[in-house]
Amino acid sequence: MPPPVTPAADDVRWQPWYYLGLAVLALSILTAVAIFTNAACGSGSASPASPSSIAATPSATGTTVQPSVATPEPSPTSPASSPTSAPATPTAGTAEPSTPRATPTEDPSPLVGCGLLAPVDQDHRISRDCVVGPLVEVEGFSLNAEAAAAWNSMKADASADGIDIYIISAYRGYDVQKQLYDQEVAAFGPDQNTSAKPGHSEHQLGTTVDINDLSGSFGDSPAGQWLQQNAARYGFVMSYPPGREGQTGYAYEPWHWRYLGPGTASAYLGSGQTLNRFLGS
């Protein structure tokens, strides 16, 4: 066992004031540490911001927040800000002014009776359902029965003379005639004189035939010449002869023959008139 240490007389560590100084030093160190700790904690706590600081501080997006008392801008839909705005759309209950529509003008031509001798031309019309019946089939076409019998007789006699005649068109209803007329108007204009208006065509009667060839030269052919010399004996006449376009309203059609009956056909040839004038007088 070591011997006990005996302090020297000049060792200050054993003096009372030495211990008092150590105590003061320790207290100073603790005080300094406390002050430093409080200062560090206080710097991490934000104090409440005043309204004025909020207004002046930029937001996260970089846009300055406007104070709530700022003057409001006019709304884009405000009447005061849009003096030239478009007129309001009428509501469902508001009637819009309508533009009058032109109505098709009804054919002003006089309506004539439906019969074998009806004066059908540019100035006279027959009803939509007019047809002089009964109709029978001849060479694949529909024709008035009386006219068909006369045609068959004329065809046989022409054949005996070495002339071949045949039908290329006969009865045409109102609707078919309208289609043909519209096509001609579209191609040649409203002043065309080769197709009759619906209701103004002799073909609708069922007593008219187109023969062989739809050309002006047919009149000079053997068949055309034979018809001009003999057709009236069977009751057929040429409705639109040459040189009479001003009276008939249509171009020369040597292929277009209408059945009137032998007696009326003979009287017509002796009158010197056009067919429309003869039947309309």
In degrees and rounded to multiples of 5, residue 35 shows phi and psi of -65, -40
143-175 b/e (C-beta count within 10 Å ≥ 16 → b)? bbebbbbbbeebbeebeeeebebebeebbbbbe
Give all strands of the β-sheet with 167-169 in edge-to-edge order. 167-169, 208-211, 256-259, 236-238
> Shortest CA distance to 258 belongs to which of 94, 116, 93?
116
- The Cα–Cα gap between 231 and 224 comes to 10
Residues 57, 60, 62, CA angle at the centre, nearest 5°? 75
Which residue is it, tokens 């007019």? 130
- The Cα–Cα gap between 237 and 239 comes to 6
> Shortest CA distance to 199 belongs to which of 165, 171, 175?
175
> Shortest CA distance to 210 belongs to which of 120, 141, 268?
141
Catalytic residue, chosen from 137, 184, 202, 253, is 253
> Shortest CA distance to 202 belongs to which of 231, 182, 172, 232?
172
> Shortest CA distance to 193 belongs to which of 248, 275, 250?
250
Given a contact cutoff of 8 angstroms between Cβ atoms, the answer to whether 181 and 197 are in contact is: yes
139 classed as catalytic:
no
Q: Which residues are known to be catalytic? A: 253
